[in-house]
Amino acid sequence: MDQRHREILRRHRRSLVTTLDTADICDGLLSKGVFTQDMIDEIQNKETRRDRARALLIDLETRGSRAFRSFLECLRETGYDDPAGLLENGDGAHPPCAIPAQPSLIPLAVQRPKYTEDPDRPVFMPPTVVPLRPGTLPVPKPVSPPYEEENLKPTRIRRDSIQIYKMDANPCGICLIINNVEFEPASCLKNRNGSNIDCDKMERRFKALNFKVVVKRNLKCKYIRHEMSTLAKEDHSLYDCCVVIILSHGTEANHNRFPGAIHGVDAGVVPVQIITNYLNGQNCPSLQGKPKLFFIQACGGDEKDTGFEVSPDEVQPSMGGADDQMDAMPMSSSSDSLSTSDEPDARATLPTPSDMLVSYSTTPGYVSWRDTEAGSWYVENLDRVLEQNADTDDLVTILMMVNDAVSQISAKGLYKQMPGSFNFLRKHLYFQKP
């Protein structure tokens, strides 16, 4: 809203609060798109009519350039012609009549009245008038029109009830990196050239964020489970967070919570939902109430996203590397590879875990691109955004920045990639400053 319109509303707020019944105009403001239903409900929940009117006027100032005119229309439509005219005059729609300049008034000294002998019947005598010369009295400074005390307060108080995770332990927590590069010939999976670049970046970055980093390379399926089980049995009571980064081939998998599965170097798979279950509140009590973060650089399937055409102003396209490869394999159909009946530490039927966030390099079902010389698009941008923004922005904001950056890259001038996350965090998460 223009500052001029805000001043008009504030100047006449007292009279509007006195006369306005919000029940008469809320429907009109809702239909004109000035307020949402939630805002209307919040206004109507105020205890008194005056409180409701005051809240409406304060919120109105935040509702954009058309809010003032829409408010005038609603007043006219509901019979509040006088308040509407008052506001229109202030807006200059109907200029008020010019008032002729008044002559300067010079105050006169007045003597006390004289009384007769009868005190019950005073007789007022004409006062002796003593003219004063101009300039003999100080000229008072102009006084700004008095506003209500509430005008000195911010026009809208931001009510942010979301808390922040404690993240000041030293070290902050354990960061486990599983880096699968060289796959067994029988697996029919290509080696993931360039993954060591990703691993080095993540190791340096999370050490800079004050994590104790543990790197495991070229793990078979059963050893991925073993490392997760070992991590779950650690005593995390002195830590504030736990991070797992997995760099490997991936595939689709049946799931009821977190999609996708990770390949071991032997081509066996571990569903992501099982990996996360190792660290949930039941299987790892020392991490209860603490954030558990998973960053997955792997394909979610074998589909390739060719994107859709948009205005050049919408994105700043960039090309991928000269040798982009995929971390994909067709969807696993083996019920044995997805079974959890032989794994007591990881039951997929547990309730949805809280305080977890799983960030995927790509959309479920689609391939994830990796440059053999520069590393994967996702990790490269995750590392860069963390370096630039970890000391100012929360994790969810950082991941949106990564999403935006990766979405503007193209493989072979054609294929696209869109990261995403499943967020079960309950609070804001800010990393320690590097």
Looking at the annotation, which residues are catalytic? 249, 299
Instruction: Measure Cα distances from 180 to 128, 162, 246, 331, 373 in Å.
Output: 107, 37, 8, 19, 16
Residue from 283, 179, 170 nearest 231 by CA: 283
Cβ neighbours of residue 248 under 8 Å, at least 6 residues apart?
Answer: 178, 179, 180, 192, 262, 263, 264, 297, 298, 327
Do residues 232 and 345 touch, judged by C-beta distance below 8 A?
yes
**What string of H, E and C letters represents the secondary structure of 157-192?**
CCCCCCCECCCCCCCCEEEEEEECCCCCHHHCCCCC
Residue from 352, 183, 300, 165 nearest 243 by CA: 165
Q: How far, in Å, CA of 370 to CA of 380, rounded?
A: 10
* Dihedral of the alpha carbons of 120, 124, 125, 126, in degrees to the nearest 10: 180
Q: Which residue has the tokens 């800010």?
A: 430
Q: How far, in Å, CA of 321 to CA of 236, rounded?
A: 40
Cβ neighbours of residue 42 under 8 Å, at least 6 residues apart?
Answer: 55
* Dihedral of the alpha carbons of 344, 345, 346, 347, in degrees to the nearest 10: 50
Residue from 430, 370, 364 nearest 406 by CA: 370
Do residues 380 and 374 touch, judged by C-beta distance below 8 A?
yes
